[in-house]
Amino acid sequence: MSYRYLLHRILALAVAVCFFPRFACAKQQDDIIRVLLTRFGSPAEISVNISGSYSCGDIHFQRGMTVRLAAGTSKNQILLRYEGLTVSHSGPLTLTRHQTKEENGLRLQGSLNLYTGDLTVSNRDGQLRMILSVPLEEYLLGVLPWEMSAGFPLEALKAQAVAARTYALTRRDASRDYDVYDNTNDQVYAGISDNAPIIRKAVSATEGICVLYKKQPVTCYYTASNGGLVESIESAWGKKNGPTGYIQSKTDPYDLDNDESVVRQAVVPADLTEEGFPALYQLLAEAAAKPLKRLGYSEKPEDIRLRKITGITIAESKDSKPQALTFQLNVDAVRTDDPGEDDISFIDNAPFDQAGTPAGGRSFYSLSNPIEVTLPIFPDIETALQLSINTAANEVWSLKTGRDSFILEARRFGHGVGMSQRGAQRMAAAFGWNYKQILLFYYHDVTLERVSMNTVTPLPADAFTFDATPGPKPTATPRPTLMPVTLKANSSERLVQVDGVAEDSSLNLRAKPDTASEILARLYYGQKLAVLDESGDWLHVRTDVLEGYVMEKFVSPVIQPD
């Protein structure tokens, strides 16, 4: 960071008046958020298009030119390359922004999105570490479209803006060189795109407004979908330093009522002799062995035949989260001693096992009363029924009983803590709620206040002029057409879509379930895929054109209409 820029900040802070509505402060803070950029990886070199007025020490850049920054071979060395010249710089290097009435930011690695503010680059063991210092309201312009779709109602977007603003303020930490990551460790930040005016409207309409609890801004956690149940901070992560009472566990009918909330469903037939869910059958048979042994029956898998599920109940923990399923089962089994009981009957016909194979002449007895077994949902039942949505075991489960089946549903996409984005969408679209009503539903005993901060403006306009004609503003490359996907009739295929990457980025389709495997194609945001199989963290997928493997965390289920 240049000496002149530091002096400018110090002087600005010296004349600032300390005024934070409704909560005390030792001194007024500036509005700069320092963002650690990770979405470009840890490159040894990066290209930077100067789409504004910038300088680096005594070097002044022309709008439209592209410079390259590279990690040098010596410790902390940064190489700045532009117009055929290479300048060596020892220690962190900062591209400092100046005032201008035109577009004023940087475009990194060919991205069309604008990264506004000052960019500080350092050399960490031959890799570039990049931190963007950006005014808070500009930062939100680069967060909102990546955390909530621009297609959501304006009031939902306003609620998201307030939550994201408050979250960012509470993450500022003077003990380190950055405040927030640009990824889901904090909030996704991918620069500013000009294709969604509603984003600017949501940010400007709520400028400076934050969520306060006990007169202090609090970490406004939010989630894609809570599955109909707001998760408390303590339930999700245990006790944390700082206040937690502003987010309490409660039902959320608005998320539950939203048809776009993520849900997975399994219809389990009551008749266990039918084919389907072999993993569940095996789990139930293994669990049945212990109670059968106590009743005098063999615990060997081949001596146990499950006939029917007569009932299922969900066992919940103290915080109302589902933890286990209890099954009532009709069972046939082989005795290890003489029956001598009235509640069993010998099966006269030749016994067969689950696969229809003769059971070798063993004598099976049919238990008159169902036996009861309990299995944990996470990970046993969830895996057996393929109902996993999150990497964390925190889905909300529900049960419906049909005539000849049991319908199990898993909901929730994300940690479930705080505001549900799908709930906010439903509140605004179907019930006409404004952003204040939305926030006050999700955050308990809080107030919404406009926080006054010291605005740090860019340095004065650069007085340098250039003889050459400035370079043109980058223009968007036409986005590739997404590949068609047709589900095969009478197959177990399900649809997912790529939504775990930025709209200007892509997901690798690989030949094998391995990040070192050959890249077959690049899949773009919104691409639908038919899932053929699962393999750990990978999905075997196809389109009508080709097939390969993608990591499951970058896709979400597509809800099919009935």
Q: Return the pLDDT at 318.
A: 57
Residues 495-515 pLDDT 10s? 998 988 776 678 889 989 988
Q: Is the dihedral of CA 524, 529, 535, 537 positive or negative?
A: positive
Q: Are residues 52 and 191 in the same domain?
A: yes
Q: Which of 307, 300, 314 is nearest to 281 (CA)?
A: 307
Q: Are residues 51 and 158 in the same domain?
A: yes
Poorest-confidence range of 170-174, 446-450, 556-560?
Answer: 556-560
Q: Is residue 298 part of a domain?
A: yes
**Mean pLDDT, to the nearest integer, of 341-361?**
44
Q: Is 352's pLDDT higher than 70?
A: no
Q: Are residues 372 and 503 in the same domain?
A: no
Residue 535 pLDDT level (bands cut at 50, 70, 90): confident
What's the whole-model pTM score?
0.76
Q: Is 47's pLDDT higher than 80?
A: yes
Q: Are residues 205 and 293 in the same domain?
A: no
Poorest-confidence range of 67-81, 205-219, 267-281, 337-351?
Answer: 337-351
Q: Return the pLDDT at 468.
A: 53
Q: Is 177's pLDDT higher than 60?
A: yes
Q: Return the pLDDT at 185.
A: 93
Residues 93-138 pLDDT 10s? 999 999 999 999 999 998 889 999 999 999 999 999 999 999 999 9
CA 89 to chain centroid: 38
Q: Is 266's pLDDT higher than 70?
A: yes
Residues 6+ apart with CB under 8 A from 38: 181, 182, 183
Q: Is 25's pLDDT higher than 70?
A: no
Q: Return the pLDDT at 376.
A: 93
Q: Return the pLDDT at 29.
A: 79
Q: Is residue 375 part of a domain?
A: yes
Q: Are residues 98 and 40 in the same domain?
A: yes
The DSSP code sequence of 24-64 is --SSPPB-EEEEEE-TT-S-SEEEEEEES-EEETTEEPPTT
User: What count of other Cβ atoms lies within 10 Å of the Cβ of residue 425?
Assistant: 27
**Mean pLDDT, to the nearest integer, of 7-35?**
51
Contact 537, 474 (CB under 8 A): no
Q: Are residues 205 and 297 in the same domain?
A: no
| Residue at which a domain ends, from 386, 411, 436 | 411
Q: Is residue 250 part of a domain?
A: no
Q: Is residue 479 part of a domain?
A: no
Q: Is 421's pLDDT higher than 70?
A: yes
Q: Are residues 213 and 276 in the same domain?
A: no
Q: Which of 134, 136, 154 is nearest to 217 (CA)?
A: 136
Contact 152, 260 (CB under 8 A): no
Q: Is 367's pLDDT higher than 60?
A: yes
Q: Is the dihedral of CA 184, 189, 195, 196 positive or negative?
A: positive
Q: Are residues 58 and 124 in the same domain?
A: yes
Q: Is residue 535 part of a domain?
A: yes
Q: Is residue 188 part of a domain?
A: yes
Q: Are residues 195 and 273 in the same domain?
A: no
Q: Is residue 489 part of a domain?
A: no
CA separation, residue 385 to residues 305, 312, 322, 392, 527 (Å): 20, 14, 15, 16, 25
Q: Is 28's pLDDT higher than 80?
A: no
Poorest-confidence range of 70-79, 207-216, 217-226?
Answer: 70-79
Residue 343 pLDDT level (bands cut at 50, 70, 90): very low
**Mean pLDDT, to the nearest integer, of 57-63?**
91
Q: Quote the domain boundaries for residue 350.
A: 263-411
Q: Which of 314, 305, 343 is nearest to 407 (CA)?
A: 314
Percent of the chain with pLDDT over 90: 61
Q: Return the pLDDT at 393.
A: 86
Residue 17 pLDDT level (bands cut at 50, 70, 90): very low
Residues 6+ apart with CB under 8 A from 358: 350, 351, 352
What's the total number of domains in the chain? 3
Poorest-confidence range of 151-155, 306-310, 324-328, 482-486?
Answer: 482-486
Poorest-confidence range of 27-31, 394-398, 402-406, 509-513?
Answer: 27-31
Q: Are residues 23 and 134 in the same domain?
A: yes
Rounded Cα distance between 306 and 455, Å, is 70
Q: Is residue 161 part of a domain?
A: yes
- The overall average pLDDT reported for the chain is 85
Q: Which residue has the higher pLDDT, 521 or 357?
A: 521
Residue 537: CATH number of its domain: 2.30.30.40
Contact 45, 70 (CB under 8 A): yes
Q: Return the pLDDT at 392.
A: 81
Q: Is 9's pLDDT higher than 60?
A: no
